[in-house]
């Protein structure tokens, strides 16, 4: 249950101005007017496609006791601030300070969500755990996760994404992690972070934010860290790895483990979770049970069996590292291989070169390469300008026993190709 505050108290926390007495209790936080409930306080956030200030009246009609705004909304129950996103973070930071769960922050170029889910599954065997749902890893999503705290949790697991310098620092200010995990460092979000070294510098802010008695766990590409209580993990810690269409097996510290998660990248993700939970004292039986029970998330190397086909839905995101990892997994399967690849976004000036390199790699490992969107033309496959034409060509070339990898950056919505294939084939 949400810990209640008066509007007056919240206004002081976020350094806002309000004309109302402010003694009414707030029973929840919302940023979407459509889902506002009586007792909520509504933060009017400005986004790329809309502005929450346009919906303050709707939120109030649905029962919001106050709205937090940057400009006057002509509402009696408004709290005026200079930046609603910063104010949301400040309230979440204060709210987090009211509780004392052991908090784990997870960042990295790849694998954040999967590692988060794995750790939550393992710790959940014996502990009460709150963890970020979906991809709540931003300056909006992380506060919304924190507002779910009720004081009964042993662990809070926060995912921390970034596309611009300073975001990890701000997320750490809000979330106050004692344990930090950097899954890996690679080429992702180069548009905002400029270079792989820029990515590394940004991700390392998580470790810098940890308290003296905290600890960090780091994976590939992070490099040497000059502070105590830093542990590393590597794919070399797994032995006798076997990759199947239905999951992965490997040996870890003398114990054979199975997970329904696919591919070498997910074995690596499992090692990250095993390292952290072992340091926290979790016994191997809980780890083994949890790994066997977890299911692939939609859009993340998700296997879909359909009329003889094996479709690998990996549409959630894409960068050179994750693209090659998906290609490597599919290349080991004993089926004819079709790759449907789209743009890898936010690669800045390196985009053309990286698309050419991934294309050369992909063509060596598939029987048919179909591509879509602007940068994808550099893959060197059969290129299309729209999804319908691509699906038409795909269906004409299928025999019914193929593995079809579908992968692109999230903004391209390649799950529409998956859905159309399921509908039409």
Residue 189 is predicted with a pLDDT of 62
Residue 94 is predicted with a pLDDT of 98
Integer Cα distance of 35 and 47 in angstroms:
17
Tokens of 272: 């990250």
**Which percentage of the chain shows pLDDT scores above 70?**
99
- Between helix 284-293 and helix 112-123 the angle, nearest 10°, is 130
pLDDT digits (tens, 9 = 90+) for 411-423: 999 999 999 999 9
Integer Cα distance of 30 and 104 in angstroms:
24
Three-state DSSP at 168 gives: helix
pLDDT(346) > 90: no
pLDDT digits (tens, 9 = 90+) for 387-417: 999 999 999 999 999 999 999 999 999 999 9
Domains, the chain, ranges and CATH?
Answer: 5-83 (3.40.1390.10), 99-293 (3.40.1190.10), 302-424 (3.90.190.20)
Residue whose pair of structure tokens reads 């755990």 in the numeric block: 129
What integer is the mean pLDDT of 31-57?
Answer: 93
What integer is the mean pLDDT of 205-216?
Answer: 96
Window from 132-146, 203-217, 305-319 with minimum mean pLDDT: 132-146
Four-point Cα dihedral 376, 378, 380, 382, nearest 10 = 40
Confidence of residue 188 (pLDDT cuts 50, 70, 90): low
Confidence of residue 282 (pLDDT cuts 50, 70, 90): very high
Residue 59 is predicted with a pLDDT of 95
Q: What is the pTM of this model?
A: 0.90
What integer is the mean pLDDT of 1-26?
Answer: 90
């Amino acid at each position: 249950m949400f810990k209640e505050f008066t509007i007056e108290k919240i206004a002081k926390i976020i350094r806002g101005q309000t004309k109302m007495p402010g003694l009414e209790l707030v029973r929840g936080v919302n940023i979407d007017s459509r889902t506002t409930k009586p007792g909520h306080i509504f933060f009017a956030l400005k986004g790329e496609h809309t502005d929450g200030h346009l919906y303050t009246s709707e939120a109030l009609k649905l029962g919001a006791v106050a709205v937090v705004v940057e400009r006057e909304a002509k509402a009696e129950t408004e709290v005026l601030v200079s930046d609603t996103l910063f104010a949301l973070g400040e309230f979440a930071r204060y709210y987090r300070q009211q509780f004392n769960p052991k908090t784990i922050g997870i960042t990295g170029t790849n694998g954040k969500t999967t590692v988060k889910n794995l750790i939550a599954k393992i710790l959940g065997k014996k502990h009460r755990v709150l963890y970020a749902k979906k991809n709540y890893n931003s300056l909006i999503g992380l506060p919304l996760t924190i507002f779910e705290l009720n004081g009964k949790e042993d662990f809070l697991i926060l995912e921390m994404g970034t596309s611009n310098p300073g975001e990890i620092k701000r997320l750490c200010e809000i979330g106050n992690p004692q344990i930090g995990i950097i899954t890996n460092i690679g080429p992702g979000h180069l548009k905002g972070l400029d270079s792989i070294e820029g990515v590394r510098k940004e991700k390392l802010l998580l470790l810098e934010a940890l308290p003296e008695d905290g600890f960090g766990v780091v994976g590939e590409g992070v490099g040497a860290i000059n502070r105590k209580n830093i542990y590393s993990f590597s794919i070399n810690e797994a032995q006798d790895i076997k990759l199947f269409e239905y999951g992965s097996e490997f040996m870890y510290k003398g114990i054979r483990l199975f997970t329904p998660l696919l591919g070498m990248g997910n074995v690596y993700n499992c090692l990250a979770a095993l390292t952290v939970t072992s340091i926290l004292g979790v016994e191997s039986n809980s780890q083994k049970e949890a790994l066997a029970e977890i299911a692939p998330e939609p859009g993340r190397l998700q296997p879909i069996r359909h009329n003889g086909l094996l479709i690998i839905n990996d549409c959630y995101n894409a960068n050179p590292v994750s693209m090659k990892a998906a290609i490597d997994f599919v290349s080991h399967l004993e089926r004819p291989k079709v790759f449907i690849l789209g743009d890898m976004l936010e690669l800045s000036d390196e985009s053309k070169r990286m698309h050419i390199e991934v294309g050369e790699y992909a063509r060596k490992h598939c029987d048919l390469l179909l591509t879509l969107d602007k940068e994808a033309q550099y893959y060197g496959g059969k290129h299309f300008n729209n999804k319908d034409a691509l699906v038409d060509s795909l269906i004409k070339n299928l025999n019914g026993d193929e593995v079809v990898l579908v992968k692109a950056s999230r903004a391209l919505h390649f799950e529409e190709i998956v859905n159309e294939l399921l509908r039409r084939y």
